[in-house]
Amino acid sequence: MFDLDPRLKNDCIGLCRLSLSHLLLMNNALFPWFILVPETDVAELCDLSTEKQLLLLDEINRVSRFVKAHFVMDKLNVAAIGNVVRQLHIHVIGRTLDDSCWPGVVWGSGKSAPYPEAERQRILRLVQSDPEFIPIMQG
Amino acid sequence: MFDLDPRLKNDCIGLCRLSLSHLLLMNNALFPWFILVPETDVAELCDLSTEKQLLLLDEINRVSRFVKAHFVMDKLNVAAIGNVVRQLHIHVIGRTLDDSCWPGVVWGSGKSAPYPEAERQRILRLVQSDPEFIPIMQG
């Protein structure tokens, strides 16, 4: 049984289950901000098995290419932090030179705006029909 | 010819050259803050070749285990951000529940204290004699 951390459940929108991870969208329309939550009990990337690291690396690559393909962005921010939510999760965020936090990081900025329902649905459909995700989408 | 970004050169202490990356120590004694700078022209992790991604993943694992082994730490922060310095570089930072930024992130905090010379030398010797790094150390 996999339990998503309550804070991630509260702050994010579930998109799909991939080979190893659950793919979430941070409910913040200011940034294309995706989160991968691998099904594991370890808190650190380096404590994942080699097999799981390789699955996760593939998923990070797919999410990165997805963000590059579908959103205006100048730079990706890819990070495993986990100071507040200890459950291992990897942020993949598209940043632009004119976003509200640039060039600072988004974590802790407090800048947030929930998605309008239509935009949330649009991103969900984008993910569910994207050739990056279809081969590794579960269930 | 590989040119390290002038800002990284200014802010960090060079430790050694690994299979793919240069290993640097951020000159900030408040955190055990290491930086891997792979020799590449691409700015995003997802644009590295598979071969280089695997080398980098191995190096991130080695630096992570090194930080866990030699420093007091409660959580690792591993991140490729690059908003300010575009040259691809990966932060591996040991965080503690009582460090000066916890639970916030260190980037942009402005909290910094340069290493005393003796401590800088101690960390350099630790790296250069560590079984994690010896097998992949170059030159």
Segments forming the whole domain that contains residue B103:
6-136
B57 in contact with A, Cβ within 8 Å: yes
Q: What percent of chain A lies above the pLDDT cut of 90? A: 96
Q: Which residues contact B88 (CB under 8 A, 6 or more apart)?
A: B37, B38, B40, B42, B43, B44, B45, B48, B80, B82
**Given A79, A86, A107, which is nearest B78 (Cβ)?**
A79
Q: Give yes or no for a contact between B88 and B5, defined as CB atoms under 8 angstroms apart.
A: no
Find the CB nearest A64 among B45, B75, B83: B45
Q: What is the pLDDT of residue A46?
A: 98
Q: For all residues of chain B together, what is the average pLDDT?
A: 97
A104 contacts B95? CB cut-off 8 A: no
Complex ipTM value: 0.97
pLDDT digits (tens, 9 = 90+) for A36-50: 999 999 999 999 999
| pLDDT tens digits along B101-122 | 999 999 999 989 999 999 999 9
Measure the CA–CA gap between B86 and A56, rounded to whole angstroms.
24
pLDDT of A31 above 90: yes
Residues 97-136 of A with CB under 8 A from B: 102-105, 107-108
Classify residue A79: in a domain, yes or no. Answer: yes
* B77/A77 CB distance under 8 A: no
Asked if the Cβ–Cβ distance from A105 to B75 is below 8 Å, we say: no
pLDDT of residue B1: 77
Q: How much is the pTM?
A: 0.98
Tell me if A83 is assigned to some domain.
yes
Q: What is the pLDDT of residues A67-103, one digit of tens each?
A: 999 999 999 999 999 999 999 999 999 999 999 999 9
The answer on pLDDT for B61 being more than 80 is yes
In chain B, % helix, strand, coil (3-state, to 5) comes to: 30, 20, 45
Residue A125 resides in a domain? yes
Beta carbons of B61 and A82 less than 8 Å apart: no
Q: Which residues of B touch A61 (CB under 8 A)?
A: 45-46, 53
Residues B78, A45: C-beta atoms closer than 8 Å: yes
Of B65, B79, B83, nearest to A78 by CB-CB distance is B79
Phi/psi of residue A55, nearest 5 degrees: -65, -45
Closest C-alpha to A91, from A15, A39, A23, A138: A23
Least Cα distance to A23 among A112, A102, A106, A130 occurs for A130
Residue B109 covered by a domain:
yes
Q: How many CA atoms does the CB half-sphere of A132 hold within 13 Å? A: 17
Q: Is residue B63 part of a domain?
A: yes
CB B31 within 8 A of CB B99: yes
Q: Domain count of chain B?
A: 1
Which residue in chain B has the smallest CA separation from A87? B75
Contact A83, B104 (CB under 8 A): yes
The verdict on residue A40 lying in a domain is yes
Has residue A87 been placed in a domain?
yes
A66, closest residue in chain B (CA to CA):
B46
The CATH number covering residue A125 comes to 3.30.428.10
How many Cβ atoms sit within 10 Å of the Cβ of residue A138? 10
Nearest CA in chain A to B109: A104
Confidence grade of residue A138 (pLDDT, cut at 50, 70, 90): very high
How many whole angstroms separate alpha carbon B5 and alpha carbon B8?
5
> For residue B1, is it within any domain?
no
Closest CA to B14 of B1, B27, B3: B27
| pLDDT computed for residue A139 by the predictor | 78
